[in-house]
């Protein structure tokens, strides 16, 4: 996932919502944005979960779901139903 340099960003992101019955709003200038990597992993975990649920419900073919889960997990370096991690001990003997 590529992120533009924050110096090249301009404009404002406006986020609105409700806290209880009170309206809430915040404006964030993009020029103050800092590079981050965590949000892509959160998105990828959610995407994998959605694919697995869709497969269970039959709204997506099992093979297609497995292929998509594998692609997302590999791209974001995550453990999933289609991937795993292997630890290698490089301690000198």
Q: CB-based contacts of 8: which residues, under 8 Å, 6+ apart?
A: none
Per-residue pLDDT tens listing for the chain (93 residues)? 345 554 577 899 999 999 999 999 999 998 888 877 788 999 999 999 999 999 999 999 999 999 999 999 999 999 999 999 888 888 887
Rounded CA-CA distance 46/49 in Å is: 5
Tokens of 10: 């301009």
- Provide the pLDDT for residue 82: 96
pLDDT at 8: 75
Beta-strand pair 22-29/12-19: antiparallel
Q: What is the structure's pLDDT at 1?
A: 37
Give start and end residues of each alpha helix (H) in the chain.
Answer: 38-57, 62-76
Indicate the pTM of the whole model: 0.62
Alpha-carbon span 56 to 3, nearest angstrom: 34
């Amino acid at each position: 996932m590529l992120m533009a340099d924050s110096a090249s960003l301009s404009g404002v992101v406006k986020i609105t919502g409700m806290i209880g019955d009170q309206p809430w709003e915040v404006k964030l200038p993009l020029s103050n944005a800092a590079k981050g990597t965590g949000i892509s992993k959160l998105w990828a975990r959610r995407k994998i979960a959605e694919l697995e649920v869709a497969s269970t419900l039959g709204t997506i073919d099992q093979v297609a779901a497995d292929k998509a889960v594998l692609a997302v997990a590999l791209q974001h370096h995550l453990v999933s139903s289609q991937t795993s991690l292997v630890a290698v001990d490089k301690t000198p003997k």
